[in-house]
Amino acid sequence: MIFDKLVAIMAEQLGVNAQDISMDTILRDDLAVDSLDLYNLGMVLEEEFNIELPQEDMNDIETVEDVVKILKELGVEE
């Protein structure tokens, strides 16, 4: 499932507990993600899922659910 894999990646990349991540988690507020963290996360997601994340999509990300939606739109399979 995309969400489970995403949680594992985010926990490792951002140094947070996987239990603290839900679909409603707000990256900037709940996980203290800044623009550099988001950029690095995007790079890891591109590598992991073999996709290219458009910069405008990355700028629109607020929640974990937003990331999942973008991944699905880019063809990442459940």
Extract the tokens encoding 74: 């880019």
Phi, psi (5° rounding) for residue 39?
-60, -50
Q: Residue 64: exposed, middle, or buried by beta-carbon count in 10 A (0-12, 13-18, 19+)?
A: buried
Beta bridge partners of 10: none
34 is catalytic: yes
Indicate which residue of 20, 34, 57, 66 is catalytic. 34
Q: Which residues are catalytic?
A: 34
